[in-house]
Structure 1
C-alpha cells in the first residue's frame, strides 16, 4: 500500500532527542516494542511511512529499536539540506513532512495529517499545519497561528487570495508538501536556511490548504547551547529576507504576500538592533544595511503603523542610527522609572557579593593555580581526585588546592592543601585560579573570569533524568532553581563524558556552549591500572577472608524518600547466602551513611557497613559482584567485567517519580530481580554469573564503557592543563584490547 504521508526525520541526534521522537512517531516505547497509547489505525485509514535520514551512529540505533522505520544512514557532518534530500529520495509517500530530530510528531498527529492530505487533489502543493512550542522552561505552548490557519476553512486557496497564511510561523515542519512539488523545486529548497525554505515553499505553491490542528512540537534548544550568534549571521538573516522578497516578485505572488514579507523583514531587523548585543561597529553596519533593504523593498502603497513602532520604522528608513539608539535609551529609562514607581519603596537590590571576593577579582589570574572540589566540598574524591593526581605527575608546575567543608578536613589525606569555604584564602583562590574543577558545581556567587577555565567532570552516567529534564518531575526538581542552574552551567568550558549516551544527555540536560571531552571518566582509570596486590590489599583492609565471596550492595537515593529505607532484609539474605559470602553495604551519600546493618551480623563479619568508606573504587575492586538498583555505580563497575545483579523492586515508582532515560529492565547489565526471593535464588545459584548474565553485561559494557580505557585523566590533563591538541592525545583503546584489574579470585592465585 502506497503511504499517503512520509514523515522524514532528519539530522543528527541533537541532544539525544531522536529516540523520544521516534517513540512518539511510531507509537511505541523507547525500546521500539510496547505500545504507548497510540491506537491502531482504523481500517482503510491512509498509511503513514516513517523515514529517518540519521547522521552518525544514531542511524544504527534507530534501525535496531524501530524495525518498521526506513533508515538512511548518513556520515557525520552531513548538512540538514542533504539529510532532507536523502530522506525524500527514499520516501514513497504522496506527501512529505520534514521533521528535525530534535522536534516531535505523535503517531496520532501524523495519521490525522495523512487523512487531511488524502482529501486534497494534486492542484494543492502545501498543507499548512499548527504547532506547539517547548523550551527548557515550558512545554507545549500554543502558537499564535490558529487564527491564520482558520481563515480558509476546508478550502484550498491561492496565496495571493489569503496572504495572511505567510504569517504562519516559518517552520519547515509545519509545511506538509506534496512529494511531486518538492522534487520539482528541489534545487530551490536545497539549502540549510530553514527560514528561507519555509517561506519559499509557500511562495512557490500553486494552491495551499490548511489544517488548524497541532502536527508538530517545535522543541527549541536553549540559545546558550548553540554557537554564539555572529554579525555575519545577522547579515545573512537580512539577505534571506531580501532573497524572499525577490522570489515573491519573481513568482508574482502579489502585493499582499510581499507586504507580509516586508513587514516580517522590518520587524526582524528592529528586533536584532534592539535585542542582539552586536559590537557597536557591526550594529551600526547592520542598521545601515537594514535601512537600505527597508527602502529598496518598501511596497508602493506602504504605510507605517502609528505610535512608537511607527517612530522606530521611520528612523530605520532614514538610517538614523544615533537617533534610534537615543530613542531606545529613552524608552528603556521610561520603563525603569515606571517599574520603580510600581514597586513603591520596596528594596530594589540584592545583597552584594562578599567585598573581599570582589577585591580579589581585581587581582591577576594565577596560571599555576587549580582549585578542585568534589561532591559539594566533601573532600578528595571522584573524577577531580583522579585528575589532580595525574596533574601532579604530568604538570607539577600547577598547584592544586581543594575546597573542603570544615567537618571533612580531618578526613583529608596528609599534606592536602585545602581551603574551607568562607575563609579569606577561599575567596582568594576562587577569584584568582586559572583552573576550577568540580564534579558538581561551584556556588552561584563564583564569577567566571574570561581567562579562567572551568571543568565539569560530573559524577555518574545518567540513568535518571538530570538538569532541565527534571522539570517534569516535581519530586526530583524540589528546591531546584533552574535559572540558577543554567547560570552555573554557562560557566563551564569543558564537560567530561564516559560514553556517547552521557554526552548526548548532558547536552540535553545542561544546554550551553561548553566543549565535550569524550575521554572517559578519570575515576575509572584505576579499574585498568590496579594490580592483584592492590585487590588483595583492599580486601584485607575491609576484613574479607581469603576465598570468601564479597558482594557490594550499593542502592541509590530515592527522591520520594527522606531517609534511607533498606529495601532488603539483610539478616535473611545473609543467612541464605551462608558463611562464605560477605555483604558490603553502602548507603547513598545523600543519607549521610545510614546503612546500619544489624549489629549481630556486623560482629559475625558477614555484613560490613562501608557507607563511610572512601574511595568507592576500592570497594568495587574488592567485590566479586555488584548488587544495585539504579545507582550509576553500575556503569563504572561494568569496566571490571564482573557480574552485576539489578535489584529493582520499585522500578515503576522510581521511573515515574524521577524519570529515566532508558528502560534499565530491558537493557540491564546482568540478571534482574524484582523480589528478595528472586535475588536470593540468583545469588545462591550460578545465575548471577551465567552465560545470560555475561551476554547482558557485554552489551552494557559496549554501550556505557565506550571511552573508559585507563587513560582518561591523562587526556584531560594534556588537553586542558597542557594545551595539547586533540590529535596528539592517547587514542581510546578498543574494548576488546583493554585488560581490567584482576578479579578477587584471580588475585588470590
Structure 2
C-alpha cells in the first residue's frame, strides 16, 4: 500500500496540469499514488491525465460524467485512495522538490499524527515567490504530536485543505467529506483540526500556490457563489452542535467567521453588482444565529465585527473607503518625504566633497553592504593591526551590523553619516562600487588625495565587466556607464593571479594599478589549525566522523526562478548517512529541502545564510560546485573538489566562461547526476587523479595565496611601501588548515584495481 495518496482535481487548468502532475511524480519519495480527477473539464485536462496514466502506473485517473465542483471532485478521489495519508493538491499548484520526503520524515519523527500541517509559498506569474506570512506559527519547537488546545494559534492559518497531510483512517473515522459550492475547504479544515487527537507541524514550504495573472482564481471573480460562504459556516456550527465537547471553540470560530465575511465584503471583485445589501443582511442573520458569549474580538476588529453584526453596510463601506484613502495618503506622503530626503542627501554629499579629507580614516564595504566579509574584511582586520591610529568604518545594512567588529564604526548605507565618510575618508575599500551602492543615483567622485582600492569578488570564471555587454541574460540590467565611472575612480585593482589580472585590465579599462598579491580572504586557510576546523564543524552541529560536502552552485542567469541543479534528496540518499550536504546557494528558494526533525543528524543542511563562507570551507571535507569562483579559494585548502557541469552549454551560452574548466579542472568532473553519484560512491572524488588535477589547478590559480596577501595589500596601499613586501611562500612549503580527522582505508574495489585512473588509490574515510 502506498504511503501517500495525492488527490488532484482538475477543471480548466490544462496549461498548468502538466507541471502539477510532474511535480508529484518526480518526488524523490516513491511511496505514492496520484489520483487525478477530471471534473468533466471542457479543455484537455482529461486527455492530459490519461497521458500520464498511460506512462506511469502510479497515476490513477478518475473521470466524472458531469462537472461537480471542487469539493465533490475531491470526494471522488477520496473513494479511490489507498494510502496511509491523503494529500490534496489543486491542479494549478505544484509540490516543491523533496516535499514528500520531508513530510514522510516529519510524520515518522512525530509518531504518525492524524494531521500534519506544512507551509506553502505563493508563486506569481512574474517569477516572484513569497512565503506564507504566518510561517512562524509552524515552528517545530516544543512537543509533538499535540492537540489543537496546545497550539490554538494554528487556526489563524489560511484554512485550506492543501497545506496538510491527513491520516486516511482519521478521515474515515470522522466521516470527513467536502460539501458542494465555494469555500468548500471551510467545513473540512475546521472539523479536521478540532477533532484530531494528534497534530504536528512541518516548518518547510511544500506547496507552491500559483497566483495567476488573470482568471482561474475564484477569490478574484464576481459571482453569486460567494454567498455559499454562509452555508459553509452553517455546516461548521452544525458540526459543533453535534459534538458538545467542542463547545469551547464556538467563540473562536464565530470570530473567524466574521473575519471571513469582512474579507469578502471588503473585496471589490467578489460580490456581483447590486448584491452587497443582500450579503450584509445575510451576514447580520448569521451573527444573530450563531452568536455566543465571549465572542467579541479585541482591538480594531471589534468595530468591523459590530458593523457586520448590525448589517450597517453603508457605514462599513464608508469606513473601508476612508481606510483606503488614509493608506493612499500615507503612501503619497512617504513618497514625498523620500524624495525630499534624497535631495537633501545629494546636497549633503556635494557639500562634504568640498570639505577637507580626514587623514587616517578608511571606509570598507562588501557585496553591496551585506556585512563584514570577503577581501575587504581581511584587509580591514590587517590594517587595524599594522597601521597605527587608523580609524575604520564599515558600510552595512542594519541586519548585518552584528558581523562588524566593535573596533569599526558601523554606517547605514545611504545615510548622512555614510555619505560624509565616503566623501571625506582618505581610503575607500570595497568589492563593489561604494558610492553607487547607496541607491541615490550619485556619480562617484575621485578626490585629490583619496585612495580607492577595488578588491573584486574572486577569480573570474564567468564573464564580468564590459564582457557582459554581449550577454543580455546576465548583464541586461547592468549600467555600463556607471560601471566605467566607478572604475575610473580606482587607484588599485586587486588580483589573485595572472588570469585575474588579464581579465580585470580588459573588462574594467581604467588607469588603476593592479596589485597581483593574492586573495586576502584566503589568508585564513593558511593560518587556521585543527582547533579552528573542529570549532567550525561544531558550530554547524556536524557529528564526529561525518563527511561534510559543501555544495555551492552558481547563480543561473538564464533562469528567472532559481532552483537546485541537483536532486539533493537523491544525492544524499545515495551517499548514505555518513555524508552531510552543506548547501550554500544564491538563494535557491524553496527548492532546497530543509532538514527534517528526525532526531538524527541532518543529511542536508542549508547554510546559505551563514555569515562566513571561509568557516564553511574549513568545516567541510570537500567542495561540490559547478561554475562558482569558490573553487579557486577552496583549492588553497588542498582538499578534494568535484564539479557537476550538467548544464554547461546553457550556462556558457547565457553567461559566458573564460575557459573550459572541464578541460583543466581542480578535481573530478561529473556531466550528469548519475556520474556524480558514482564519483562519490566509488571514492574517485578523493583519488590520486583528483589530487594531481588539484595540484595543477593550485599552481595556476593560487600562486600568492600564502596567508600574507592581506599584509602585502595593507603595506602597499596604507603604508605606501613599495619594497620589502612579504615574500611569497612557495606552494610546497605551505601548510593549509588540516582536513577533518580521517583514517586511511583501502576500499575493496580499489584493492582490485577498479580505480578509474588505473592507479592504487588510498581513500580516506571517517574514523570511528
CA contact (8 A) 1:635 1:704 kept: yes
Look up the match of 2:530.
532
Aligned to 2:396: 404
- Which of 633, 636, 642 is matched with 1:636 structurally? 633
Asked whether 1:558 is paired with 2:550, we answer no
**In the TM superposition, what is the alpha-carbon distance from 1:515 to its structure 2 partner?**
0.4
1:21-100 mapped onto 2 (5 Å cutoff): none
1:219-368 equivalent positions in 2, closer than 5 A: 354-368=346-360
* Structure 1 residue aligned with 2:662: 665
State how 1:54-203 maps to structure 2 within 5 Å: none
Distance, in Å, in 2 between the alignment partners of 1:541 and 1:598 is: 16
Match in the other structure for 1:420: 412
CA-CA distance at 1:549 after TM superposition = 0.8
Report the counterpart of residue 612 of structure 1 in structure 2.
Answer: 609
CA contact (8 A) 1:371 1:429 kept: yes
**CA distance in structure 2 between the aligned counterparts of 1:470 and 1:519, rounded to whole angstroms:** 26
Give 2:434's aligned residue: 442
Deviations 1:527-549 (A, max 9, x none): 10001100001001111111111
Shift of 1:415: 5.5
Normalising by structure 1, we get a TM-score of 0.51
Structure 2 unaligned blocks of 5 or more: 1-341, 437-441, 744-765
Distance 2:470 2:598 in 1: 42
Cα deviation code 1:580-638 (max 9, x no counterpart): 1111111126x689744453689642211110002100011111110001000000000
Q: C-alpha distance in 1, partners of 2:711/2:609? A: 28
Is the CA contact 2:422–2:435 (under 8 Å) kept in the aligned structure 1? no
Pair 1:656-2:653 in alignment: yes
Aligned pair 1:734/2:730, yes or no? yes
**C-alpha spacing 1:457/1:746, structure 2 compared with 1 (3 Å):** farther
User: 2:563–2:589: 8 Å Cα contact kept in structure 1?
Assistant: no
Give the corresponding residue for 1:744: 740
The CA distance in 1 between the partners of 2:691 and 2:410, in whole Å, is 44
Correspondence list, 1:485-634, <5 A:
485-588=483-586, 595-597=592-594, 599=596, 604-634=601-631
Corresponding residue SS for 2:551: strand
> How far apart are the structure 2 equivalents of 1:694 and 1:625?
12
Shift of 1:498: 0.7
Instruction: Please give the alpha-carbon distance, in whole angstroms, between the structure 2 residues aligned to 1:686 and 1:472.
Output: 41
Which digits, 9 at most, give the CA deviation of each residue in 1:487-526, with x for residues without a partner?
1111110011111000000011111110011110100000
CA offsets per residue over residues 3-58 of structure 1, 9 Å max, x none?
A: xxxxxxxxxxxxxxxxxxxxxxxxxxxxxxxxxxxxxxxxxxxxxxxxxxxxxxxx
For the pair 1:433 / 2:446, whether they are aligned, the reply is no
* Equivalent-residue separation in structure 2 for 1:594 and 1:569 (angstroms): 9
Pair 1:426–1:539, CA change in 2 (3 A): same
The answer to whether 1:686 aligns with 2:678 is no
The number of aligned residues is 398
Tell me if structure 2 keeps the 8 A contact 1:582–1:607. yes
SS at match of 2:706: coil
Mapped partners of 2:400, 2:711: distance in 1: 28
Counterpart Cα distance in 1 of 2:571 and 2:676: 9
Instruction: For 1:640 and 1:398, locate their aligned partners in 2 and report how far apart those are by CA, in whole Å.
Output: 32
The correspondence of residues 359-398 of structure 1 with structure 2, limited to 5 A, is 359-398=351-390
Residue 532 and residue 441 in structure 1: after superposition, are their counterparts in 2 closer, same or farther (change >3 A)? same
Aligned match for 2:474, one of 476, 491, 510: 476
Contact persistence 1:602–1:608 (CA under 8 A): no
Match of 2:699 in 1: 702
From the superposition, tell whether residues 681 and 413 of structure 1 become closer, same or farther in structure 2 (CA, over 3 Å). same
**Structure 1 residues 662 and 486 mapped into 2: Cα distance closer, same or farther (>3 Å)?**
same
Partner SS, residue 364 of structure 2? strand
CA contact 2:545–2:742 (8 Å) conserved in 1: no
Change (3 A) 1:602 1:396: farther
Counterpart of 1:527 in 2: which secondary structure? helix
The change in CA–CA distance for 1:451 and 1:638 in structure 2 (over 3 A counts) is same
The structure 1 segments of at least 4 consecutive aligned residues displaced by more than 6 Å after TM superposition are 350-353, 746-749
Separation in 1, partners of 2:433, 2:593: 30
**Are the structure 2 counterparts of residues 415 and 367 from structure 1 closer, same or farther at C-alpha, using a change threshold of 3 Å?**
closer
CA contact (8 A) 2:595 2:602 kept: no
Change in CA separation of 1:601 and 1:570 when aligned onto 2, cut-off 3 Å:
farther
Superposed displacement of residue 422, structure 1: 2.5
Q: 1:528 to 1:413 in 2, by over 3 A?
A: same
Q: Could you say what the CA RMSD is over the residues aligned between the two structures, in angstroms?
A: 2.1
Is 1:711 the equivalent of 2:708? yes
Q: Answer whether contact 2:455 2:494 (CA < 8 A) is retained.
A: yes
Distance 1:602 1:559, change over 3 A: farther
Residue 459 of structure 2, aligned match among 449, 458, 461: 461
Deviation of 1:412 (Å): 4.0
TM (normalized to structure 2)? 0.50
Deviations 1:111-141 (A, max 9, x none): xxxxxxxxxxxxxxxxxxxxxxxxxxxxxxx
Q: Is contact 1:644-1:671 (8 Å) kept?
A: yes
